[in-house]
Amino acid sequence: MGKYIFKRIIGLAVLLLGITVITFAVIHIAPGKPTDLEAQFNPKVSMEARERISHLYGLDKPLHIQYIEWLKRFSRFDFGASFMDSRPVMDKIMERIPITITIELISILLILLIGIPIGVSSAVKEGSFYDKGMTIFVFIGFAVPTFWLSLVLMDFIGVRWGALPISGIKSLEFEKFGFFEKIIDISRHLVLPVLVSTFGGLAGISRYMRSNMLHVLKQDYIRTARAKGLNEKQVLYKHALKNALLPVVTILGLSIPGLIGGSVIFESIFSIPGMGRLFYESVMARDYPVIMGVLVIGAILTLLGNLLADISYVAVDPRIKLE
């Protein structure tokens, strides 16, 4: 196990290096420069002033030199300073990442707790009214755009009914609240973003779970278990479920980038100060150091998610040996 993990970490490090090369090149090749943004606020900015700004940011150097300098800083886990406010990029990310990870972890947990039972029950009741109804329900969640669902929930639940707050993660009088009141206040602010994130992810997990269960339930060892006189719950949850979970673990590991990418939309709509909103603001401002920092952190989380998914195979299926 230890040897396998070491090999995977080396491979992931090489992959991460390749990701940083491509990302750095795409960001700098894309239309628009930080100096163009300065000119928008002050059209009278001279060419000499633009050149001074480019020199200040180090943008006048060849692209490969800029990347090498960035890579040297990254080796110390230093992403440089933001072009917008000169603050260290790592400080800005560390301020935002806890709320994004909290929302994503809650969403993943809810997706598993809701999606797996839906998939299992749909497989057991294949072709029934329940199965068809759940299929329609989860595919509606898959088809509905995140931004549209966010706006609809904000309109009905937040504005018309006034049941939940529609922006930010805490109220204006948050500092005056007691400990438990603060927890309740933050929880109420997170309900809508978590709901949006969870609703869109149910379709994939529940459909994969249903498909895997249908395949497993037709295997010989399931018929043997039933022939031995085991009750249906033991057959389903002790024998069938563990074998059906293996592909779901893979999908779960690969779903992390989608959840992080989706946070850009709902964090911007709900005004949540998370990684997604920071990324959006940085892209609009052409803040290269922050863009690279957010993308690299997202890539690291994705690669770690895939590694954990591979390790989880052993726990789900003891027949698999990691070498």
pLDDT digits (tens, 9 = 90+) for 74-117: 888 888 888 778 788 888 888 888 888 888 888 888 888 888 88
Number of other residues whose CB lies within 10 A of the CB of residue 90: 16
- Residue 195 CA to residue 234 CA, distance in Å, equals 32
The yes-or-no verdict on residue 45 having pLDDT over 60 is no
Residue 170, pLDDT score: 78
List the alpha helices (DSSP H) in the chain: 2-29, 34-41, 47-57, 63-75, 89-124, 129-143, 146-153, 179-216, 220-227, 232-234, 241-254, 256-269, 275-285, 288-316
Q: Identify residue 131 by its one-letter amino acid code.
A: D
Residue 297, pLDDT score: 85
Task: Tell me how far the alpha carbon of residue 11 is from its chain's centroid.
Answer: 22
Domains of the chain: 97-281 (1.10.3720.10)
DSSP string, 24-89: HHHHHHSS--HHHHHHHH-TT--HHHHHHHHHHHTTTS-HHHHHHHHHHHHHTT---B-TTT--BH
Tens of pLDDT, residues 232-261: 777 887 778 777 777 677 777 666 666 566
Tokens coding 34 = 């930080």
The yes-or-no verdict on residue 41 having pLDDT over 80 is no
Residue 37, pLDDT score: 60
Under a CB-based contact definition with an 8 Å cutoff, are residues 263 and 184 in contact?
Answer: no
Number of other residues whose CB lies within 10 A of the CB of residue 68: 11
- Residue 247 CA to residue 1 CA, distance in Å, equals 21
Calculate the average pLDDT of the chain. Answer: 79
Across the range 198-216, mean pLDDT stands at 81
Under a CB-based contact definition with an 8 Å cutoff, are residues 226 and 157 in contact?
Answer: no
pTM of the model: 0.77
Residue 46, pLDDT score: 61
Least confident of 9-13, 36-40, 130-134: 36-40
β-bridge partners, 81? 88
The yes-or-no verdict on residue 42 having pLDDT over 70 is no
Across the range 23-34, mean pLDDT stands at 79
Higher-confidence residue: 202 or 90? 90
- Residue 270 CA to residue 197 CA, distance in Å, equals 12
CA distance readout (Å), 169 to 93, 142, 297: 17, 26, 22
262 — pLDDT class (breaks 50, 70, 90) = low
Higher-confidence residue: 101 or 320? 101
